[in-house]
Structures are given as structure tokens and as C-alpha cells.
Amino acid sequence: MEEGKKQERRSGFTSKLEKQAVSLLLAKDELEKKNIELENAMIDARKASRARDVFLANMSHEIRTPINTMLGLNELILRESQDETIRGYALDIKQAGTVLLSLVSDILDFSKLQSGKMELAEGTYDISSLLNDLINSVSIPLRKKKLRLALDIASDVPYKLSGDEVHLRQIIGNLLSNAVKYTQTGTVTLHLAWEKQENDGLLLKIAVEDTGVGVKEKDIARIFETFNRLDMEASRNEEGTGLGLAVTNQLVSMMGGKLEVKSEFGKGSIFSFAIPQKIINSSPLGDFQEQYDKSVRNSISYREKFIAPLAKILVVDDNAMNLAVAQDLLRKTKLQIDVASSGGECLEMLKRKEYHLICMDHMMPVMDGVQTLQAIRAMEDNPSRNIPVIALTANAVVGAKEFYLNAGFEDYLSKPIEPDKLEDIMIQYLPKELVYLTDDEEISVESDDDESGLNEEKLTDMGINAANGLKYMGGSRSLYEKVLRDFREILHEKEEQLKSMLSKEDVSGYAIIVHALKGNARNVGADELAEEAFELEKKSKAGKLEEVEVQSPILFSMMRTLGENLDRYLETEAADVSVEKEEEQTEKQQITEEIWKEKLQLLHRQLDDFDTDGVTESIQELKKYQLTEENRKLLRLCEKAVNDFAYDVAMEIVSSVL
């Protein structure tokens, strides 16, 4: 019996062990199954991550192409349109497009960082060039929001360093862009300091400070999270995805630094970092703040010194904002401005078009400014081979001028570009016959068509296509009259020169002079004379001296007839206009400064209320008074804006004198 109980206990124990063994086997199978599921999930997650990175990279690449196309076409509108309202729309498109392009770039960089494919690219760069480009990148939104940019730049920092300039520019640019974006009033400050290290190294210390909305203390820890924008109430009107700071933070880490933030909500923020760089040239940068302040003062008091609608210049710079700034500074001069973003593109453009002057950046990738200049001078069949080339450079250290002159440049301009000096360079090196100084009383760049004595019907009878001539002058009727007077003198001068070439049987010299005459004739709309000159140009270039001698008297007769007709036309029209203006001003009433201001205030209120009838009536009433030249110009501009339905522009014009 006792043995039976033992047997029963053994049997129960064995059964229990068997159950436990079965349970363990089942648990093991379940664990293995879970491990397989987890491993498969991790594989799927990695595939999804890779697919996301590939998608983001491809999407950003694909989107950049149409954005660049749109911005390129918009740039053509900015270059060619004379309508200020349309230019205003185009500038808004440019700013919005630039923001969109920046967001796409952030997405591309984010995908590269996430996939570990982002690489640093070491190279030599100038601190001054870096600063200039960064300032230009935020210049438009700064002006639009009326913010002050302060620069706290160590004057003794070595001006030439080695490091990843592209990503350093991106980091500082993102911080500056954010500072401007989230600051409504006050100042954005860029600090740059440095600390010497061993083996020609230095620690570059950068900080961007603003007086903007700031960040709440509880949110600072989350500020570098991807796709996260804090305090949406304060920033709801600003563009952005919250991705820029995340990318910036990772880039700083890759470059051996740490991005830090100090902020007080409602008062502003300071973003700072320090990264190691190498010293290539220890010459000090100098007082960059003074140079920047001077360029700002000059741009505020800017008034174009000349106009040259027939002159063609090419500006070469690898930075799009620098090209935009150069074009903007020269816009009112009516120059024909083309741009190239590299040395190679510059050379291609020179094969297709002839220019009178080139302005070229020094520090460009692949082919720098010096190498491009050498290629220009060596390029055969290049009509612009020997034209002046001006260096545009942020390298303003001692000995810079000698360097550029020795390299073959005619002159150089340091960045930030001062409008006054830029125009002086243009006046000095452009062909004299193409430049019209605005202090010449005969030229008014804001002249109204109604106040010009231009008689298109008489000009047509003389064989001059005034419509073409006006097109070449950018629509300025007073400038066209000035060019016609100059052309009258050119006709006599060219005839004497051509006869001299014939007497010496110098057919090559004849070809050069008749080529210039052809261009002069086309510019004023003397199309028949231009065609005759073109025929003689072809024959003289072919060396057909006898045919040139036979046909030249016909050309000379056309030149003399046109010159005599221009003499009579210009003398008659000048007398008629003088009498008309004198009679017109005599009939008009006097107006006191007090009444002038009162009527402008009324006009301002009517513009603000969009009172169309009242605005028209006020402008017509003001035109009945004797006004100073300055006030007449203001009234004409205001009327033009009203006719274009740009009432906001008209209000700004009126406000400028109230």
C-alpha cells in the first residue's frame, strides 16, 4: 500500500514535469516567434526609413527644378519690367520662392543626415566674403520689416580660413533667417569672435542674437526636435516647418561643436556655437562693421549719377543674392545687365554676346575670378576680349588692390558694395559715348511723356523710327532727345573718319568705324542708314575696297541729309517746347507751401479711403498750380500709381513729403 502511494506520487510528479516541459517548449516557440516578428518589424522599419529617405531626397531634387525655373523666369520680369507695381509683385514672388527653396533644401539635408550620407567638404574661404553673402541673404526681409542689423565682428580674426564653408554658411544663414523671421521690431546682431589654438588652429565662435518673440523655458529642451514649431500663436504668420533648427543642430555637431540657446520669452534669444577651423592666412580682417555701415549710409542716400541704357555689362558671381544686390544697385541706371553664376557660364555668354564691361567675383568654385579673367583674355574670336574687367571681392586687406591689378583686372571693388563707388567705376570704364550723367540738366530720368517735345511724326518723315529709338532708351523721351543731339555730332565725326580711312585705303579701319556707325544708327531708330552701314561693313570686312569706294558716297549723302534734318528738327522743337512751357507756367496760379501740404493731406485721405473720384479731382486741381520741378515729379509719379490702381504706392509717394 505504501508502495502504491509512492508510485502514485512519482506518477504525479512525472506528469507535472511533463506539463512544465510542454509549457517551456510552448513558451520557447512563442518567444522564437516573437523574435522573428520583432526582427521582421525591424527590417520593415529600416526599409520604411530608407524608403522615406529616398523619397525625401528624390522629392526635394524634383521640386528644386521647377522652383529654380520659376525663380529664373521671375528674375527676367525683374530685369525687363519698368512697371513698379509689377516689379513689386515680382519681388514678393522672389522672396516667397527663396523661402520655399530653403525649405526644400532643409528636407534634402535632413534626409542625408538621417541616412548618414551627409559629408563635410573642407576648403579655403574668406571670412569677409562669408559675412558679405550672409548679410545679403537677409537684406530684403530686414528692409521689409525695418529691422536693424548689428555686427559685432572681431577685427583681428584671420581673414582666410580652412573648413566646410558651405555648411558653415548654411548654419549661420539659418540662424540669421530665423532671427529675422521671429523678430518684429528691434535688432538682429551677428557676433563673431575667435580663440587661438595649437598648430595653426582656431576656435571660431559665432552667436546670433535677436529681440524677437523668444522661447519659453519649458520649450527650450524641445527646440531642436524635427518638424516642431513652438508657440504657434506667436509664429503662425511665419513660413517654416520647424526643420531648419534640427538640421542646423546636427550640422554643428558634425563640425565638432554644440549649438546652444539662451532665451527669454517675449524679449529675444541668443543661439551660439563654436567650431574648430584652420588658419590659412593670419592677416586680420579689419573693421568690417565700419565698411558695412558706410555701404548702408550710401545706399540710403543713393541717387543714380548716370544712365546708360545702351551699355551692356556682365556680372559674374556664384552667389545668387550677390547677383541680385548688384542688379538692384544698378537698376535705375538703365544699364543692360546680364548675370553669370560661374566662370564657365561667363565664358559661354561671351561667345554669344558682346559686352562693354565685366564685374567678376574673385572667390568662385571650379574656376575663380583670376582664372576666368585669364581665359577671357586668351579666348579667340571674343569681341569682349579686351574690355575692362572689375574684380568684386570681400578681400579688403592691405595689398589687395596691387594683387588684382597685377592679376590683370582694371580695378576692384570691395564688398559690401557701396553704390557710390560702383557707379563711379561704371562711369570711369564704360565707353564715354554711352554714359549720360544725371546732373546734366537736359536729362531727367523721371521725365513724363507729356512734357517732352518729341515729335514722332516729324522723325518718321525724316526716316527715323522713333518707336525703336524709345525702346532702346527704356522709354525715356528726354534721354532719346539727348541721344539724338549726340547722334547729330556723331554723323559729322564718323563721315570724316571714314573718308580718312578711304584715303589711306585702310579697309580694316573702315570696317571698325562703319560697324560703330551701324550701332549708333540702330540705337536712334535710323534703320535705313543702319542697313546701308551694315552692307558696307560686310564688304569692308571682306576686303572689297573698290566696292566700298563706289558705295561710300551713297552712305555719306544719307548721313549729311539726316544730320541737316536733325539740325532743323532739334532747333525748332526746342524753341516750341520752351515757349509752351513758359506760357503754361504763366497761366497757372501760385500755391503756398501751407496750401500744398493741406491738399496733399486731403489726397492722402482720399487714397486711404479708395475714393477714386476724389483722388482724380484732387490731382487735376493740383496740376493747375505753378509747382516746383520736384513737386511736379511727385505729382506725376502719384498719378501714374493711381492709373495703375496701386493706391498703396501712391500713398507712400504722398507720405514722403508730409
For the stretch 489-533, pLDDT in tens is 888 888 888 998 899 888 888 887 887 788 778 778 888 888 888
**Length of the chain (residues):** 658
Q: What is the pLDDT of residues 152-191, one digit of tens each?
A: 999 899 988 999 887 888 889 889 988 988 898 899 999 9
Q: Residue 129's Cα: distance from chain center in Å?
A: 16
In whole angstroms, what is the distance from residue 455 CA to residue 461 CA?
10
Query: With contact defined as beta carbons under 8 Å apart, do 101 and 64 qualify?
Result: yes
In whole angstroms, what is the distance from residue 540 CA to residue 548 CA?
6
Tell me, what's the pLDDT at 447? Answer: 42
DSSP 274-303: EEEEEEEEEEE---HHHHHHHHHHHHHT--
Would you tell me how many other CB atoms lie within 10 Å of the CB of residue 5? 9
Q: What is the pLDDT of residues 371-382, one digit of tens each?
A: 999 999 998 778
Lowest mean per-residue pLDDT among 269-283, 503-517, 604-618, 634-648 = 634-648
Mean pLDDT of the chain: 77
Q: How confident is the model at residue 448 (pLDDT cuts 50, 70, 90)?
A: very low
Query: With contact defined as beta carbons under 8 Å apart, do 143 and 220 qualify?
Result: no
- 418 DSSP 8-state letter: P
- What mean pLDDT is predicted for residues 298-325? 74
3-state secondary structure of 547: helix
In whole angstroms, what is the distance from residue 390 CA to residue 421 CA?
12
In whole angstroms, what is the distance from residue 87 CA to residue 79 CA?
9
Residue, of 598 and 470, whose pLDDT is higher = 598
Tell me, what's the pLDDT at 233? Answer: 43
**pTM of the shown model:** 0.44
- What mean pLDDT is predicted for residues 217-228? 67
Contacts of 499 (CB under 8 A, 6+ apart): 556
3-state secondary structure of 318: coil
Closest listed residue to residue 444, CA positions, set 397, 395, 481: 481
Q: What is the pLDDT of residues 242-253, one digit of tens each?
A: 456 777 888 888
Handedness of CA 497, 502, 504, 507 (dihedral sign): positive
In whole angstroms, what is the distance from residue 476 CA to residue 484 CA?
12
Residue, of 54 and 484, whose pLDDT is higher = 484
Report the percentage of the chain scoring pLDDT > 90. 12
Whether the predicted pLDDT of 563 surpasses 50? yes
Whether the predicted pLDDT of 265 surpasses 50? yes
Contacts of 552 (CB under 8 A, 6+ apart): 498, 502, 536
Residue, of 202 and 325, whose pLDDT is higher = 202
Q: What is the pLDDT of residues 331-373, one digit of tens each?
A: 778 788 888 888 999 998 898 888 999 999 887 878 888 999 9
Query: If you search the block for the grid coordinates 588692390, which residue do you land on?
Result: 401
The shares of helix, strand and coil residues in the chain, as percent rounded to the nearest 5, are 60, 15, 25
3-state secondary structure of 14: helix
Tell me, what's the pLDDT at 424? Answer: 85
- What mean pLDDT is predicted for residues 320-337? 77
3-state secondary structure of 105: helix
Radius of gyration of the chain (CA): 35
The DSSP bridge pattern shows strands 436-437 and 306-307 to be antiparallel
Q: What is the pLDDT of residues 10-69, one digit of tens each?
A: 565 566 666 666 677 676 677 777 777 777 777 766 666 666 655 655 555 566 657 766
- What mean pLDDT is predicted for residues 582-586? 47
Contacts of 487 (CB under 8 A, 6+ apart): 520, 521, 523, 524, 526, 566
Here the cell at position 512 is 571698325
Q: Which amino acid is at 83?
A: D
Q: Which amino acid is at 521?
A: A
Tell me, what's the pLDDT at 65? Answer: 57
Nearest-10 Cα torsion for 432, 436, 439, 441:
120
Query: With contact defined as beta carbons under 8 Å apart, do 324 and 315 qualify?
Result: no
Tell me, what's the pLDDT at 6? Answer: 56
Here the cell at position 41 is 518589424
Contacts of 302 (CB under 8 A, 6+ apart): 329, 419, 420
Whether the predicted pLDDT of 433 surpasses 90? no
647-655 helix and 593-608 helix, angle to the nearest 10 degrees: 150
Contacts of 452 (CB under 8 A, 6+ apart): 477, 478, 481, 577
Lowest mean per-residue pLDDT among 86-95, 157-166, 219-228 = 219-228
Contacts of 182 (CB under 8 A, 6+ apart): 210, 212, 213, 234, 235, 238, 269
Contacts of 540 (CB under 8 A, 6+ apart): 507, 508, 510, 511, 514, 548
- What mean pLDDT is predicted for residues 79-87? 67
Residue, of 221 and 233, whose pLDDT is higher = 221
Q: What is the pLDDT of residues 201-213, one digit of tens each?
A: 999 999 999 999 8
Query: With contact defined as beta carbons under 8 Å apart, do 118 and 255 qualify?
Result: no
Q: How confident is the model at residue 442 (pLDDT cuts 50, 70, 90)?
A: very low
Report the DSSP beta bridge partners of residue 150: 189
358 membership: H or E segment, kind and range = strand 357-361
Q: How confident is the model at residue 560 (pLDDT cuts 50, 70, 90)?
A: confident
Contacts of 435 (CB under 8 A, 6+ apart): 306, 308, 311, 426, 427
Q: How confident is the model at residue 444 (pLDDT cuts 50, 70, 90)?
A: very low
Whether the predicted pLDDT of 214 surpasses 50? yes
Contacts of 537 (CB under 8 A, 6+ apart): 511, 514, 515, 518
Whether the predicted pLDDT of 79 surpasses 60? no
The DSSP bridge pattern shows strands 201-210 and 268-284 to be antiparallel
In whole angstroms, what is the distance from residue 14 CA to residue 8 CA?
10
Would you tell me how many other CB atoms lie within 10 Å of the CB of residue 421? 15
Scored b (16 or more CB within 10 A) or e, 339-355 reads: bbbbbebbbebbeeeeb
Report the percentage of the chain scoring pLDDT > 70. 71
Whether the predicted pLDDT of 151 surpasses 70? yes
